[in-house]
Amino acid sequence: MGAEADPSRQSLPPAGTVMGGRYRLTRLIAAGGMGAVFEAEDEEAGRQVALKLLHPELTSERDVRRRFRRESSVLLALDHPSIVRLLDVGASDDELLFSVMELLDGETLYERLEASGAMSARALLPIVDGMAEGLAAAHEHGVIHGDLKPANVFLLRDAAEAASPVKLLDFGLSKVLGLERLTRTGELIGTPAYMAPELLTGKGEPDARIDTYALGVILYQCLSGRVPFEGKVPGKLMMDIVMGDHPPLAELAPALPPDVPLVVSQAMSRQPTRRFGSAIALARAFRAAVG
């Protein structure tokens, strides 16, 4: 399912552990700052699933556990080809929270970029459409992703046979943990590179436009091979996102159709009101710009 951060395998339950009385862990898929993802056997349904175990430090607070239960009821109702299907949620005997999802075959967009580098605008079209459709479906239910990044975009191996070539992962987790918690870089998600400026400054109430911004950053990265703002010092990186200038996309990828950088720039506007009104509007503008 793709790693989310530097692997951390300390204190993870071993293979064979049964979670929630029915999910037997078979192997570790990935581990990171947010938790760990296992392949597991659903012994009641007789199928293989993916089980995400949230890090105990994230879920020990009572308000987090309450939000987890509340948000899960919304996420369980999300049914869209571009969103990974949430099958169940629960807690282990020692009160660790977990979610159960369909098991996917493929790689994350992060893994694709690490292996192959920048992509052409045309190759990116179906991925952008899939991401936008998934975001639109969630936004219609009042669900904001809040942590959209290449590691949370899964590319299906048999995309030609699927209704959508992508599956968005970790929907709603940012709201469960508290959006303000996501700014604690280095502890949870490693980098704020995909976070909208208003999230970093705390000005205004975050809404669906933070996902539009993140989608713009992903487009910039896919087309240029790098994120707009880079840096290993979290404070400086966040300051650059809020106030600094990034290299123009047109200079990094001069072969792009001329309108593509304009679309990406609008999606990444520091002013939420200047961004596209929806993810679908962004995808349509991108497709028109590619021609």
**Residues belonging to the active site:** 147
Nearest to 279 by CA among 145, 134, 167: 134
Alpha-carbon gap, residue 119 to 287, rounded angstroms: 15
Residue 164 tokens read as: 């959508």
Compute φ and ψ for 91, nearest 5 degrees.
Answer: -135, 145
Determine contact, residues 112/127, Cβ cutoff 8 Å.
Answer: no
Nearest to 133 by CA among 256, 283, 234: 283
Give one DSSP letter per residue of 127-152, joined into a string.
HHHHHHHHHHHHHHTT-------GGG
Alpha-carbon gap, residue 214 to 145, rounded angstroms: 10
Angle between helices 209-224 and 259-267 (to 10 degrees): 140
> Where would I find the H helices in 25-96?
56-59, 62-75
**What are the DSSP E strand ranges found in 103-244?**
106-108, 153-156, 166-168
Determine contact, residues 142/78, Cβ cutoff 8 Å.
Answer: no
Q: Is the dihedral of CA 80, 208, 151, 8 positive or negative?
A: negative
β-strand partners of 19: 23
